[in-house]
Amino acid sequence: MIEYPWMAIARSKLGIHEIPGPEANAFIAECLASTTLDYPDNQSDETAWCSAFANRVMQLAGYDGTNNAWARSWLAWGREPTDAEFDAGVVVVLARGPISGHVGFLEDWDDNRVRLLGGNQGNAVSYAWFPMSRVLGYRVPLGKGTLKKP
């Protein structure tokens, strides 16, 4: 069993949620600022933030993410995991319509579904099950240390 270093960080953020109205959750705004989003989108927890959450968690773990707020940007990040690397923490990219997507960290799976730990799932950092049919790809860093920041 692999324990990816970013999973402890992601799990520590469980329960963080959007604040209704004009105020924004500070951690979500921090996540949005970890992408190339401009003002005012990088200040509002009403902005789609699943990819921003994945980026910030990777940064906190010492890895570069995509720096992109688009969930499907993760399809070009890293590489597909080997069978031995397929475990909790693998980055999972899902389809949401023809061009949109969702990204989160694999926590569990069965024959028909994947359970992700992710941001912007029910407007919070939470666990959620998704149909396997929506999976576009699985990703891990290129290699040990390859994506680590100096």
CATH number of 44's domain: 2.30.30.30
- What amino acid occupies position 118? G
For 113, the domain range is 5-139
Average pLDDT over residues 111-132: 97
- Residue 78: the pLDDT is 94
Q: What pLDDT score was predicted for residue 116? A: 98
Do the domain assignments include residue 150? Answer: no
Estimate the share of the chain in helix, then strand, then coil, as percent rounded to the nearest 5.
30, 25, 45
- The values of phi and psi at residue 105, to 5°, are -105, 130
pLDDT at position 143, please? Answer: 61
Residues 105 and 99: their CA atoms lie apart, in Å, by 20
Taking residues 87-114, what's their average pLDDT? 95
- Amino acid 42: pLDDT: 67
As for how many domains the chain has, the answer is 1
Total-model pTM:
0.91
pLDDT band at 64 (very low <50, low <70, confident <90, very high): very high
Q: What integer pLDDT is reported at residue 150 of this predicted model? A: 28
SS3 57: helix
In a domain, 108, yes or no: yes
pLDDT at position 70, please?
Answer: 95
Share of the chain above pLDDT 70, in %: 92
| N-terminal to C-terminal alpha carbon distance within the chain | 27
**Could you give the CA distance from residue 110 to residue 36 in angstroms, rounded to a whole number?**
35
Residue labelled with tokens 């994947």: 114
- Examine residue 148 and state whether it is found in any structural domain, yes or no: no
Residues 6 or more apart in contact with residue 131 via CB below 8 angstroms: 112, 113
